[in-house]
Amino acid sequence: MSKKFYPLFGLLIVAALVLAACGGAPAASGDASEPATADTAAPADDAAPAPAAQTAAQGETLAAVVARGYLVCGANNQVPGFGYVDADGNFSGVDVDYCRALAAAIFGDADAVEFRPVTAPERFTALQSGEIDVLSRNTTWTLTRDTELAGNFTATTFYDGQGLMVPSATGFTTLEDLAGGSVCVQTGTTTELNLADAFAAAGISYSPVVFEDADSTFAAYSEGRCDAVTTDKSGLVSRRSVLADPSAHDILDVTLSKEPLGPMVRHGDDQWFDIAQWTVFALIAAEEYGITSANVDQVKASNTDPQINRLLGNEGELGAKLGLSNEWAYNVIKLAGNYGEIYNRNLGPDTPTYIPRGYNSIYTEGGLLFAPPFN
Amino acid sequence: MRNQKHTAIPFWRDERVLQVLGQVAFAAAVIFFFYILIQNMVTGLQRQGTTLGFSFLQGTAGFDIAETSITYSRTSTYAQAFLVGLLNTLQVSFVGIILSTILGIILGVARLSSNLLVRNLSAAYLELMRNLSLLVFLIFWYLAVFLKLPRVAEAVIWPGQIHLTNRGVGLPWGLPTETFETYRWVLWAGLAAAALVALVLHYIGKRTGKPPLTALWALLTFAAFAVVGWFVLPGAPLTLDYPSVQGLNMVGGKVVSPEFMALLSGLVLYTAAFIGEVVRAGLQAVSKGQVEAARAIGLTGFQTLRLVVFPQAMRVIVPPLTSQYLNLTKNSSLAIAVGFPDMFYVSNTILNQSGRAVEMISLVMLTYLTFSLVTSWFMNWYNQRAQLVER
Amino acid sequence: MSDKILPPLIERPSPLSWIYKNLFNTWYNALLSLLSGALIFWIGRAVVIWLLEVAQWRVIVTNLRLIMLGQFPISEVWRVWLGLALLALITGNSLGIWGRKARGAGRVTIGLLVLLLGLAVITSGQSQLWLLGMAGLLGLGWWVGRSAGKGLERVVITGWVIWPPIFILLLRGLGADSELLPLVGTNLWGGLLLTLLLTIVGIVFSFPLGVLLALGRRSSLPIVRWFSVAYIELIRGVPLITLLFMAQLMLPLFLPTGVNIDRVLRAMVAITLFSAAYLAENVRGGLQAIPKGQYEAAYAMGLNNIQSMGLIIMPQALRLVIPILVGQFIALFKDTALVSIVGLMDLVGIGKTVLAQPEFLGLQREVYAFISMLYWVISYAMAYVSQRLEVSLGVGER
């Protein structure tokens, strides 16, 4: 290359860089223009261009979901009763039914949802990147996840506590019995941290055996690799039901931590957060008012209670405030059932994964489930 | 006219200009591509209110790690947790490289044995291993072999008090006594003496032209120091501590976790098959004429092997051998499948707990890249040296 | 009479002397023979007893469809069969056309026929019919190829090129509303099917990419060369699992909002990019082995850069490295198992779910032994076929 080309070379590089910078601009502005296409559903007061990064996504999620025609829900596929996929590829569980309820709220069709099994490590990235619209995968509400992991937790759908399961033959009853033993635990979970905290607080030495997924964790436990296995108590009950001999394992009467489990959505889209949140409340309120999928039509037709009328869309414009149809909650109850129905379907006494309702009862029955007023 | 035509090729047909233009376009495309990706990421992260950076590594880890070679607890930082993982990776790679080299050489030599049975046994082993998926093999090895060992209470005890259980393998291990400090100095002295012997022999070899068995004599010197020191000292510097079952786990001796055992032995058995092939190819690459020539000038069989075959085979063996070592190191990242806390697995845990996917994955990749750079640096050094020998 | 040429003396050792010569010619060989004989007996006995008496193969029989196809809907399984039937036809045809030149081809054809018919015997219902059909198509293809000879070559090569996209189209379907081929999401692809798909896609895309990178690395243009070197060394320096994690965890962050790439596709991209770097090094080895005279001769004939590379150099270089390339493809096939760590339902991932079924807990040996066997058989078959072809086509020698 002769020297006279050097200036040309430099010029071209500069030109290329300018080009690259210009090329970058449409990509950046593409983000901003997306809310504009969301005018079908976005509330009018947000139509103005919003340069602040935090609010740029307002209304975007619902618009994207509506445009796509179905909801994408990040779910578990290894925990019977919460999120499980059977040999035919059917999903079932409380967390799965929540997604169906959400789909019913948006589309009036509980099947307009695609379940995407996500592993514990990838669940937050999947949510952050928009690969899934909502994460409903027995995820514990913690401060770090609420802030640093850029998520918003809706109302809790299952109040849980972390427990320990041991083979009955060992006769263990307390944490201290496990001194010097090993505990199987799944990575990427709050469980891993709580376990360390609990044993440190009790001043007991132990050795954690950490696995990548629930299947491996419980496989190692059932082979006797560990003296105990730990996860949320609901998870222990559910996994115990698929052990070779469920009666040969005891869940210790020790609670290592509070585990409020609930759906999680991205930071930055308040409208979507409201929809996800109030779908949970609709499920809870329906049980409180005694509305079930079986009687919802009858209640809707003959009811006089204004609270219920507003919930079912006979009165007021509550649905429109969320960017949904006014019959959204009616659809939820009709197609997915109320909270109690969902619970009984997956965790009730007739299921192999029976868990007594305990905290997860309506507040009138001594539980923690409490829906704010539908006004 | 003709002259003018020659000088005035329009620039769009001048190959050199086209080449420059093409390259610039290519570079621009690449830069543009990455620019878009990074732009997307930055806007995405901004919208969630997070930024990139490694300061989070100073945060408290909060989780426990079962196997640590440095002091670590749940109150340590993420950076320390990463270091624990890094050391575990280095440990399993180092031991794995030594063991797989030994097994690989045995397999490679056996593959060329004059004994039909030995030859075919080795061939069958190589064929079996080379067509297996390492991940499947490791999982099988861990779940179907090590976890199927008897439970602690029914431990199988091999001669020498080796306990086999699915909590780990208990081995007798030396416990230092009060004379150990002194003994350590004896060993250092032995090492120094061995180095001296090696130097002297090397010098003599150069002067006389008769290459002596330097390595052998140096080793013998060291061994002599070690043995004499052991018996001269007032008490034995190490006592054997035997493992025994107590309560939930084994105590005493050295207990090696099934995760470590499965990963190490799995990697060794797998890599040894590839090293066996490398060794066989290297030995076969030395032409028969070399051996015949060596015999013709009166070298004995052992001398032929040591002075003629081995140096030439090494030149063929070392490059692929190094890449097998690198493979073993990279493959140790499959520890995640058997639950051994190596660098990749610990980083994965940190990623999960802190949500820092970009930072952690970059850090892990950079670390592995460093391993590979060091290896290729060694390779270049060796190649240069091997070329000098050729002259 | 007396000057009749005698055939060379062929030594016909008695079995005893043969054993003596091969096993007991020296004292240490005798010792080694005894030791390895004992080892073979001990291992063989344990394996046979386990295989026949201890192992509970019901877990495999019950879950065979899951292991083979994952959760692919049962009503759409015919699409997989159809794709495989097409493959059988093309394979038979190729064997027929090129079989005359390659001596091993006859054996491969018969082996495949025996395999298909053997599988047909142990299966039942629809699968049996499909397998018989496949065997028929294989034979038909072979006969047509044999009789048509060279005339069909182009058709068959085109067939090989368009088969992978057709197969993937068949599996994926045309769209959610399509009557004939409804969409089957990649989240339902699994088992051996997914493993093979990852392999096929990996091979098909990483090969051209690898060739380009190899050319780039030898290019005289510095920027292109630096880029190729950086790419190759970077990828070869890290384990595949980090790339897969990057694809699953980091890639979504790099894409604009609203753009999502399918999980399976992401794994395919990671595997392709990974394998391409290794292929590039292999191809470069072949290019370096071509003597300079070939380049010069090509120029002398007036061929330009692209022509001489495409017509003279690359065909020779690739021919040289076919064995190494096949080795790399086998490595790729074995490496696809890693996608199970990022949560895909390939053979290993399906194995995990099978083992979580309550009635089959603790049967890790059976499940993983079966999966290992599948990997082994397929890798071995790939190696065997390529060896046969190499020998009969004289590949790798010059």
> What residues of chain B lie within 8 A of the CB of C29, using their CB?
114-115
Q: Fold match between A60-157+262-365 and A160-259?
A: yes
Taking Cα atoms as reference points, which of C9, C41, C36, C42 lies closest to residue C24?
C36
Query: 3-state class of A265 per DSSP?
Result: strand
Listing from the earlier edge strand, what are the strands of the sheet with A151-153? A113-117, A71-75, A134-135, A264-266, A151-153
Residue range A85-95, pLDDT digits in tens:
776 667 889 99
pLDDT above 50: residue A30: no
Q: What is the pLDDT of residue A339?
A: 95
Chain B partners (3+ C-beta pairs within 8 A)? A, C
Would strands A113-117 and A71-75 be described as parallel, antiparallel, or unpaired? parallel
Interface check for B52 against chain A (CB to CB < 8 A): the answer is no
Residue range A48-69: average pLDDT?
Answer: 64
Considering only alpha carbons, which residue of chain B is nearest residue A190? Answer: B353
Mean per-residue pLDDT of chain C: 85
> What residues of chain A lie within 8 A of the CB of B25, using their CB?
16
Mutate to test the interface with A, among B352, B358, B359, B361 (most CBs of A within 10 A): B352
Chain-centre distance for alpha carbon B362: 22
Q: What is the pLDDT of residue B370?
A: 94
pLDDT above 90: residue A361: yes
Residue range B149-196, pLDDT digits in tens:
888 778 888 887 888 888 888 888 888 888 888 888 888 999 999 999
* CA angle (B158 as vertex; B152, B163 as ends), nearest 5: 30
For B284, other C-beta atoms within 10 Å of its C-beta total 14
Mutate to test the interface with B, among C42, C338, C347 (most CBs of B within 10 A): C338
pLDDT above 70: residue C394: no
For A357, other C-beta atoms within 10 Å of its C-beta total 18
Contact B36/A219, CB-based, under 8 Å? no
Residue range A307-314: average pLDDT?
Answer: 90
Interface check for B337 against chain C (CB to CB < 8 A): the answer is yes
Q: Give the CA radius of gyration of chain B.
A: 28
> What residues of chain C lie within 8 A of the CB of A213, using their CB?
343, 352
Interface check for B50 against chain A (CB to CB < 8 A): the answer is yes
Interface check for B341 against chain A (CB to CB < 8 A): the answer is yes
Instruction: Domain ranges for chain B, please list them.
Output: 2-47, 78-136+272-390
Going by C-beta distance under 8 Å and a sequence separation of 6 or more, which residues neighbour residue A349?
none
Residue range B222-276, pLDDT digits in tens:
999 888 888 888 777 888 888 888 777 777 778 889 999 999 999 999 999 999 9
Taking Cα atoms as reference points, which of B166, B163, B354 lies closest to residue B262?
B166
Q: What is the pLDDT of residue A89?
A: 67
Query: Token pair for residue A190?
Result: 């709050």
Helix%, strand%, coil% for chain B, nearest 5: 70, 10, 20
Residue range C40-66: average pLDDT?
Answer: 89
Give the start-end residues of each E strand in A43-186: 71-75, 78-79, 83-85, 91-92, 113-117, 134-135, 151-153, 158-167, 182-186
CATH superfamily placement of domain A160-259: Periplasmic binding protein-like II (3.40.190.10)
Task: Tell me the residue type at A181.
Answer: G
- The percent of residues above 90 in pLDDT, for chain C, comes to 31
What single string gives the DSSP state of each residue in C71-139? T--GGGHHHHHHHHHHHHHHHHHHHHHHTTT-THHHHHHHHHHHHHHHHHHH--HHHHHHHHHHHHHHH
In this prediction, residue C263 has a pLDDT band, given cuts at 50, 70 and 90, of confident
Question: Could you give the CA distance from residue A326 to residue A329 in angstroms, rounded to a whole number?
Answer: 8
Contact B148/C241, CB-based, under 8 Å? no
Question: Could you give the CA distance from residue B376 to residue B29 in angstroms, rounded to a whole number?
Answer: 30
pLDDT above 60: residue C305: yes
Residue range B274-314, pLDDT digits in tens:
999 999 999 888 888 888 999 899 888 788 888 888 888 88
User: Which residue from A9, A211, A268 is facing B48, i.e. has the nearest CB?
Assistant: A268
Residue range B43-100, pLDDT digits in tens:
877 766 677 888 889 988 888 888 888 889 888 999 999 999 999 999 999 999 999 9
Q: Which CATH class is domain B78-136+272-390?
A: mainly alpha
For C87, other C-beta atoms within 10 Å of its C-beta total 19
Question: Where does C185-380 sit in CATH, by number?
Answer: 1.10.3720.10
User: Which residue from A20, A149, A200 is facing B35, i.e. has the nearest CB?
Assistant: A20
> What residues of chain A lie within 8 A of the CB of C187, using their CB?
114-117
> What residues of chain C lie within 8 A of the CB of A215, using their CB?
352-353, 355-356
Terminal Cα-to-Cα distance of chain B (whole angstroms):
57
Considering only alpha carbons, which residue of chain C is nearest residue A352? Answer: C358
Question: Could you give the CA distance from residue B195 to residue B199 in angstroms, rounded to a whole number?
Answer: 6
Residue range C3-27: average pLDDT?
Answer: 73
Terminal Cα-to-Cα distance of chain A (whole angstroms):
77
pLDDT above 60: residue C284: yes
Considering only alpha carbons, which residue of chain A is nearest residue C264? Answer: A116
Would strands B173-176 and A71-75 be described as parallel, antiparallel, or unpaired? unpaired
The DSSP element (H or E) to which B255 belongs, if any, is strand B254-256
Q: What is the pLDDT of residue A337?
A: 93
pLDDT above 70: residue C83: yes
Question: Could you give the CA distance from residue A124 to residue C96 in angstroms, rounded to a whole number?
Answer: 54
Task: Tell me the residue type at B160.
Answer: G
Out of A235-249, A271-285, B63-77, the most confident range is A271-285
Contact B45/C250, CB-based, under 8 Å? no
Taking Cα atoms as reference points, which of C193, C187, C241 lies closest to residue C87?
C193
Predicted complex ipTM: 0.86
Residue range A154-176, pLDDT digits in tens:
999 999 999 999 999 888 888 88
Query: 3-state class of C4 per DSSP?
Result: coil
Q: What is the pLDDT of residue B271?
A: 96
Contact B339/A54, CB-based, under 8 Å? no
In this prediction, residue C392 has a pLDDT band, given cuts at 50, 70 and 90, of low
Interface check for B209 against chain A (CB to CB < 8 A): the answer is no
- The percent of residues above 70 in pLDDT, for chain C, comes to 93
Chain C partners (3+ C-beta pairs within 8 A)? A, B
Contact B26/C372, CB-based, under 8 Å? no
pLDDT above 60: residue B389: no
Q: What is the pLDDT of residue B333?
A: 95
Question: Cα separations (Å) of B383 from B314, B322, C289?
Answer: 11, 12, 19
User: Which residue from A78, A131, A218 is facing C252, i.e. has the nearest CB?
Assistant: A131
Identify whether the C-beta of residue A282 lies closer than 8 Å to the C-beta of residue A311: yes
Query: Token pair for residue B238?
Result: 């190490």
Contact B26/C335, CB-based, under 8 Å? no
* Chain A (179-238) residues lying within 8 Å, Cβ to Cβ, of chain C: 212-213, 215-216, 218-219, 222-223
C140: closest CA of chain A, how far (Å):
36
Q: What is the pLDDT of residue C102?
A: 64
Taking Cα atoms as reference points, which of C367, C371, C384 lies closest to residue C337?
C371
Helix residue ranges per DSSP H, A226-327: 233-240, 270-288, 296-302, 306-312, 318-322
Q: What is the dihedral of CA C144, C148, C151, C156, to 10 degrees?
A: 10
Question: Could you give the CA distance from residue B355 to residue B50 in angstroms, rounded to a whole number?
Answer: 10
Mutate to test the interface with A, among B60, B248, B257, B333 (most CBs of A within 10 A): B248
Question: Could you give the CA distance from residue C117 to residue B379 in angstroms, rounded to a whole number?
Answer: 52
The DSSP element (H or E) to which B241 belongs, if any, is strand B238-241
Positive or negative torsion for Cα A356, A359, A362, A363: positive
Question: Could you give the CA distance from residue C383 to residue C108 in angstroms, rounded to a whole number?
Answer: 12
> What residues of chain A lie within 8 A of the CB of C356, using their CB?
78, 215, 218-219, 242
Identify whether the C-beta of residue A180 lies closer than 8 Å to the C-beta of residue A226: no
Question: Could you give the CA distance from residue B23 to residue B19 in angstroms, rounded to a whole number?
Answer: 6
What single string gives the DSSP state of each residue in A193-249? HHHHHHHHHHT---EEEEESSHHHHHHHHHTTSSSEEEEEHHHHHHHHTTSS-GGGE
Interface check for B147 against chain C (CB to CB < 8 A): the answer is yes
> What residues of chain B lie within 8 A of the CB of A268, using their CB?
47-48
Interface check for B22 against chain C (CB to CB < 8 A): the answer is yes
Query: Token pair for residue A169?
Result: 């033959």
Place of tokens 């010097």: A180
Question: Cα separations (Å) of C65 from A87, A106, A117, B105, B319?
Answer: 10, 36, 21, 42, 45
pLDDT above 90: residue A316: no
* Chain B (136-165) residues lying within 8 Å, Cβ to Cβ, of chain A: 143, 147-148, 151
Residue range C338-343: average pLDDT?
Answer: 89
Q: What is the dihedral of CA B89, B92, B94, B99, to 10 degrees?
A: -160
Interface check for A350 against chain C (CB to CB < 8 A): the answer is no
Considering only alpha carbons, which residue of chain B is nearest residue C223? Answer: B23
A280-316 residues labelled b (16+ CB within 10 A) or e (exposed): bbbbbbbbbbebbbeebeebbeebeeeebbbbbbbee
Identify whether the C-beta of residue C368 lies closer than 8 Å to the C-beta of residue B136: yes
Question: Could you give the CA distance from residue B286 to residue A48 in angstroms, rounded to a whole number?
Answer: 79
Chain A partners (3+ C-beta pairs within 8 A)? B, C
B158: closest CA of chain C, how far (Å):
18
Query: Token pair for residue A160?
Result: 């849980």
Which listed CATH number (3.40.50.2300, 3.40.190.10, 1.10.10.10, 3.10.105.10) goes with A60-157+262-365? Answer: 3.40.190.10
Contact A124/B46, CB-based, under 8 Å? no
Mutate to test the interface with A, among B31, B57, B64, B263 (most CBs of A within 10 A): B64
A293: closest CA of chain B, how far (Å):
38
Q: What is the pLDDT of residue C278?
A: 94
Contact C71/A85, CB-based, under 8 Å? yes
Q: What is the pLDDT of residue B113?
A: 83
Query: 3-state class of A308 per DSSP?
Result: helix
Query: 3-state class of C362 per DSSP?
Result: coil
In this prediction, residue A48 has a pLDDT band, given cuts at 50, 70 and 90, of very low
Residue range C90-95: average pLDDT?
Answer: 86
Task: Tell me the residue type at A59.
Answer: G
Taking Cα atoms as reference points, which of B261, B273, B271 lies closest to residue B145?
B261
Question: Could you give the CA distance from residue A341 to residue A350 in angstroms, rounded to a whole number?
Answer: 12
Task: Return the higher-pLDDT residue of A46 and B110.
Answer: B110
Q: What is the pLDDT of residue A371?
A: 93
User: Which residue from A88, A121, A215 is facing C356, i.e. has the nearest CB?
Assistant: A215
For C82, other C-beta atoms within 10 Å of its C-beta total 16
Q: What is the pLDDT of residue A29?
A: 33
Identify whether the C-beta of residue C341 lies closer than 8 Å to the C-beta of residue B336: yes
Q: What is the dihedral of CA B319, B325, B329, B334, to 10 degrees?
A: 110
In this prediction, residue A2 has a pLDDT band, given cuts at 50, 70 and 90, of very low
Identify whether the C-beta of residue A187 lies closer than 8 Å to the C-beta of residue A210: yes
Residue range C249-268: average pLDDT?
Answer: 80
Interface check for B60 against chain A (CB to CB < 8 A): the answer is no
Task: Return the higher-pLDDT residue of A50 and C178.
Answer: C178
Q: What is the pLDDT of residue A87?
A: 63
This prediction has a pTM of: 0.83
Residue range B317-340: average pLDDT?
Answer: 92
Q: What is the pLDDT of residue A13?
A: 45
Contact C372/B337, CB-based, under 8 Å? no
Instruction: Domain ranges for chain A, please list them.
Output: 60-157+262-365, 160-259
For B287, other C-beta atoms within 10 Å of its C-beta total 10
Contact A222/C362, CB-based, under 8 Å? yes
Mean per-residue pLDDT of chain A: 81
Q: What is the pLDDT of residue A22?
A: 38
Identify whether the C-beta of residue A269 lies closer than 8 Å to the C-beta of residue A59: yes
Q: What is the pLDDT of residue B263?
A: 96
Task: Tell me the residue type at B210.
Answer: K
> What residues of chain A lie within 8 A of the CB of C353, using their CB?
77-78, 85, 215
